[in-house]
Amino acid sequence: MSRQSRHFGLKSFNFLIFFLFAASISGSELISLEKILPNIEVVTNSQDRQRGLMYKKAIPENYGMFFIWNLNKVQCMWMKNTYIPLSVAYMDRSGKIINIYDMVPLSKASVCSKKPVLYALEVNRGWFKRNNIKVGDILNLDKILQND
């Protein structure tokens, strides 16, 4: 085997290994949110974001409240006056899930994103797990943002 063909073979092998490794670590899925969560309430103003799901005693299984902020920064929520056990996912501007937290009813502790985000989705506790949605997945937000 010539030196040139060995070099080409090694480069091809390295590229193949890199490609397979990159594909395996990305692991992100593009998820069409409205298909699995048909009832989404979008909140965009400060007053509605502050109220959130306070004082509600229950929400339907496939209901979510989608929060939109004006500034891309670390965002925080709490469960003051919220009786329902919830999970929250924080998302960046592309819809990529940065964090998912299970939140404790009536807690005044802040639950903050680990990175700057523009969006959050609150659902019944465990909904993300039951729907196999995890950190790193990307939610297709086109329809939600169009209706905003």
* For residue 19, pLDDT beyond 60: no
Residue-wise pLDDT for 83-137, tens only, equals: 999 999 999 999 999 999 999 999 999 999 999 999 999 999 999 999 999 999 9
Confidence of residue 23 (pLDDT cuts 50, 70, 90): very low
Domains in the chain (CATH in brackets) are 28-146 (2.60.120.1140)
Rg for the chain, CA atoms, rounded: 20
Q: How many CA atoms lie within 13 A of 27 on its CB side?
A: 9
**C-alpha pair distances (Å), 83 with each of 46, 48, 111:** 21, 17, 16
* For residue 36, pLDDT beyond 80: yes
**pLDDT for the residue numbered 26:** 52
Residue-wise pLDDT for 6-18, tens only, equals: 555 545 444 433 3
